Structure 1
Amino acid sequence: MKKSFKKTLLAGLFISTLFLGANAMAADYRQNPFTLTYDGAITENVQGKVNIQPVKYQLNGLTIAANVYTPANFDPSKKYPAIVVAHPNGGVKEQVAGLYAQKLAEQGYITIAADASYQGASGGEPRQTDKPFNRINDIHGMVDFLEGYQGVDTSRIGALGICGGGGYTFATAQSDKRIKSVATVSLFNTGLVRRNGMNDSAVATIQERLKQASEARTLESKGDVQYSANADLTKITDEQIAQMPAGLYREGFEYYGKTHFHPNSTPRYTTSSLLDLMTWDATDQAELIDQPLLMIAGSAADTRYMTEQAFAKATGTKNKELVLIDGASHIETYWKPEYVKQISEKLTGFFGKNL
């Protein structure tokens, strides 16, 4: 029972990850002035091309760290459609969120990818607090920031969420009608999985885990912060990765620990966060989404069912489309060139019609 419980907790954050099949860095953050980890990342701001601007802003008393991408030949006196991009659980803005933010900027959008509150380079204590309210408010906050950013057409702001960020974006769009169209890639319903486990594999331990989270809250109130999925990615060996079950676990360690490693990215989260996560579900008010909706998932993804469930519950919009990327796993949608190309084209077409 305890071994199964640990696997479930560890799985929770690694379900937003990838497998390259080789341990070489895809793009070494140490070689990029903006510490970006993805292939084709901007290495310098060049006039007439897509540029990146690191920014900081205040949200509920916390300092949020973000990157804003502006289109080629950006003219602040003109108006551009804009898109907020929410990163996966355990991820940071320099990884897949930055990849798709840059891809969309190349198509003429102003985009922003921000580190979640309590995570990455953003402020907040205890570190790696991971609660739905915070993650949803982070997306509201990105919209707030774009509304005051030079060149943004505030009547044309869209949202893209990836993995856990997809579930939180799906939830945010239920209420925030400043978001005119919403897209998700490999949506991960964090509350559902923290509660039930992947494919309901941990339903039998719900009460046990809630008790552990409650005990962790008591310890945290006394200054002793407890963490779940508390693995040190810098110490995971190739042999350990090879022994993991094929799929999400192995791909997660490969992506975050090897091929797209960033020191601000970590799988851990405060155990007390489960008190909020396990009583929340991204689809609870799905019918409130009345904006155009695009949902993308890999046909071979273990998490595909979450996208399909959310899509079915989004009954408030008639303008919706579910796209399955043939052969892609959850994590391959983060990096594999042919899949990224397909997804980027779908996103460009969707936002082009609906912003």
Structure 2
Amino acid sequence: MKLIKTTVLATILAAILGGNAMATDYKNNPFTLTYDNAITQNEKGKVNIHPVKYTQKQTGIEVVANVYTPANYDPTKSYPAIVVAHPNGGVKEQVAGLYAQNLAEKGYITIAFDAAYQGGSGGSPRYTDKPQNRIEDIRAAADFISQYPGVDAKRLGLLGICGGGGYSIKAAQTDKRFISIATVSMFNTGDARRNGFMRSQKETIQQRLVDIAKVRALESAGGEIQYSPSFGQNMTPEQVAALPFEMYRQGYEYYAQTHAHPNSQTNNTIDSFQDLMAFDVNTNVDLINQPLLMVAGEKADSLYMTQEVFANATGTDNKALFLVPNASHIETYWKQPYVQQITDKLTAFYGKNLNQ
């Protein structure tokens, strides 16, 4: 079915964010991790990784996740924990795993999970991406990690990256188990779906809603599930260069080339858009009264999203905005020294607000 291919593709690309330097090939890692310096085996006295499964209480969907435990982990002791939510189109083996491992190296128990309907987790139709599901993913991860041996549930933090950052802002508004919240390159998926990235598609909102409704009608009459276009691995360099924003170009390189993972699919059900286009991270941000750290690349074309949410977080006086010098949105996923700078900021933030 022809479905305003250009406008839908541009909106999809805006929510698919990553990085762009050759990383660990998932095929050469026993845990299929894609990032540099990833764990290859569990060793005594070092940070270890533990693949786990659990069932979301609200949906009954089985979720797959990786729990990272710090060096010399002792389940009889007490540790702060951090839930890490991945970007749109991403999986736990990519940037979410990178930061989860980095924070485990600083003494935290961390969990990086695949969103329901995505990655290795259950749920059908596949690659449904609705805000209520993504928020419940975060809550369910908190349910699980709070019961993990050695976790002090009273010292629970939240880290959201890209789209996962937007959903983390929403989850933290009402889930006060999270006593400290941080985001990296936060992305307002609803705003991008509705208005286009950098508000570039506002004039086509109503037509896109009509097209989405037509898809819903076809599916309800027994038609096949319809999906948005996705990043393939066969775009030419010229096609990549022609993408309209740096985030799109670097996103293609990250997801389709340098940090590709077979469970990372960058398309969604068209039906998901009905919920996404009515969603906005910028509503009720004042409900966040917990300490808040928001990190973004100084040169990111998505920076306006972080700045808007930060300004609206009027419910907390303990908040900070850190702009990574010279970094783009995508480069915060993989590039040094940016990752180290961000890890240092996160460590100081959680150290102050989780370890008390």
Residues 3-18 of structure 1: pairs in structure 2 closer than 5 A: 4-14=6-16, 16-18=17-19
Judge conservation of contact 2:131–2:275 (CA < 8 Å) in 1: yes
For 2:45, the equivalent position in structure 1 comes to 48
For 2:158, the equivalent position in structure 1 comes to 159
Superposed CA offset, 1:45-102 (max 9, x none): 0000000000000012111000000000000000100000000000000000000000
RMSD: 1.4
1:10 deviates by 3.5
For 1:271, the equivalent position in structure 2 comes to 270
Residues 83-94 of structure 1: pairs in structure 2 closer than 5 A: 83-94=82-93
Distance 1:291 1:174 in 2: 9
Distance 2:160 2:334 in 1: 15
Judge conservation of contact 1:18–1:248 (CA < 8 Å) in 2: no
For 2:99, the equivalent position in structure 1 comes to 100
Judge conservation of contact 1:186–1:296 (CA < 8 Å) in 2: yes
Residue type of the alignment partner of 1:241: V
Distance 2:175 2:139 in 1: 7
For 1:31, the equivalent position in structure 2 comes to 28
Judge conservation of contact 1:19–1:250 (CA < 8 Å) in 2: no
1:226 deviates by 0.8
Worse-superposed segment, 199-208 or 339-348: 199-208
Superposed CA offset, 1:128-178 (max 9, x none): 000000000000000000111100001000000000000000110000000
Residues 110-129 of structure 1: pairs in structure 2 closer than 5 A: 110-129=109-128
1:13 deviates by 2.8
Q: Secondary structure at the match of 2:155?
A: strand
For 2:54, the equivalent position in structure 1 comes to 57
Residues 274-313 of structure 1: pairs in structure 2 closer than 5 A: 274-313=273-312
1:250 deviates by 1.0
1:242 deviates by 3.6
Distance 1:13 1:153 in 2: 34
Unaligned 5+ runs, structure 1: none
For 2:135, the equivalent position in structure 1 comes to 136
1:6 deviates by 3.8
Residues 219-234 of structure 1: pairs in structure 2 closer than 5 A: 219-221=218-220, 222-231=222-231, 233-234=232-233
Distance 1:295 1:66 in 2: 24
1:212 deviates by 1.4
Judge conservation of contact 2:300–2:328 (CA < 8 Å) in 1: yes
Residue type of the alignment partner of 2:20: F
Judge conservation of contact 2:82–2:109 (CA < 8 Å) in 1: yes
Worse-superposed segment, 212-221 or 262-271: 212-221
Distance 1:255 1:94 in 2: 13
Superposed CA offset, 1:260-297 (max 9, x none): 00000011011111110001111201000000000000
In the superposition, the TM-score normalised over structure 1's length comes to 0.96
For 2:66, the equivalent position in structure 1 comes to 67
Judge conservation of contact 1:213–1:273 (CA < 8 Å) in 2: no
1:228 deviates by 1.2
Percentage identity across aligned positions?
59
Residue type of the alignment partner of 1:40: N
Judge conservation of contact 2:20–2:259 (CA < 8 Å) in 1: no
* Structure 1 residues 155 and 278: CA distance shift in structure 2, 3 A: same
1:315 deviates by 0.4
1:213 deviates by 1.4
* Structure 1 residues 223 and 78: CA distance shift in structure 2, 3 A: farther
1:36 deviates by 0.1
Judge conservation of contact 2:14–2:247 (CA < 8 Å) in 1: no
Q: Secondary structure at the match of 2:337?
A: helix
1:216 deviates by 1.7
Superposed CA offset, 1:88-118 (max 9, x none): 0000000000000000000000000000010
Q: How many residue pairs align between the two structures?
A: 349
Distance 2:26 2:265 in 1: 15
Distance 2:215 2:251 in 1: 26
* Residue 333 (str. 1) matches residue 347 (str. 2): no
1:219 deviates by 2.5
In the superposition, the TM-score normalised over structure 2's length comes to 0.95
Judge conservation of contact 2:294–2:320 (CA < 8 Å) in 1: yes
Judge conservation of contact 2:10–2:196 (CA < 8 Å) in 1: yes
